[in-house]
Amino acid sequence: MIMAITLAILMIIIGEKPMGKGLVLGTLFSVINFLIMGQFLLSQIRGARSKTRAGIFALGSILFRFAILAIPLIISMKVNSISFIGVVLGLFMVQVAILIDHLLPDRFLPFKKV
């Protein structure tokens, strides 16, 4: 989230206000999606009594999360002051942060990983 806010502030400073707004909106919904995914995963592990029930629960979880991710995309298409491209980039911000954290050697990090 810090990376997205920093990029959004940079975008606003250079005059790309819609891109900055889209980046923040997309990142916010990306974080919400990630939190919901974690909650559904725990519920699925604990509550699955059969393969069929687990499959239905997994499908429902995916459809619910896709609906959540569609909200900022629809907003950006309806509101001209929010960039669609910025929202799309923001939606991938959590995944990019995880990938960077995984690929970045430990010697470049100022703190120790847990």
The answer to the question of residue 92 being in a domain is yes
Give domain status of residue 113, yes or no.
Answer: no
Judge whether 44 lies within some domain: yes
| Residue 98, CA atoms < 13 Å, CB-side half-sphere | 7
d(Cα 114, Cα 110) in Å, to the nearest integer? 13
Show the domain range for 51. 2-8+22-102
Q: How confident is the model at residue 71 (pLDDT cuts 50, 70, 90)?
A: very high
Inter-residue contact 23 to 86 (CB < 8 Å): yes
Q: With respect to residue 16, please indicate whether it lies within any of the assigned structural domains.
A: no
Instruction: State both tokens at 27.
Output: 């990142």
Q: What is the pLDDT of residue 22?
A: 92
> pLDDT tens-digit profile of 86-108?
999 999 988 888 888 778 766 66
- Token representation of residue 41: 């995963």
In a domain, 52, yes or no: yes
**pTM, full prediction:** 0.78
**SS3 category, 92:** coil
Does residue 109 lie in a domain region?
no
Q: Is residue 17 part of a domain?
A: no
Write out the DSSP string of 51-92: HHHHHHHHHHHHHHHHHHHHHHHHHHHH-TTS-HHHHHHHHT
Q: Is residue 110 in a domain?
A: no
Domain count, the chain: 1
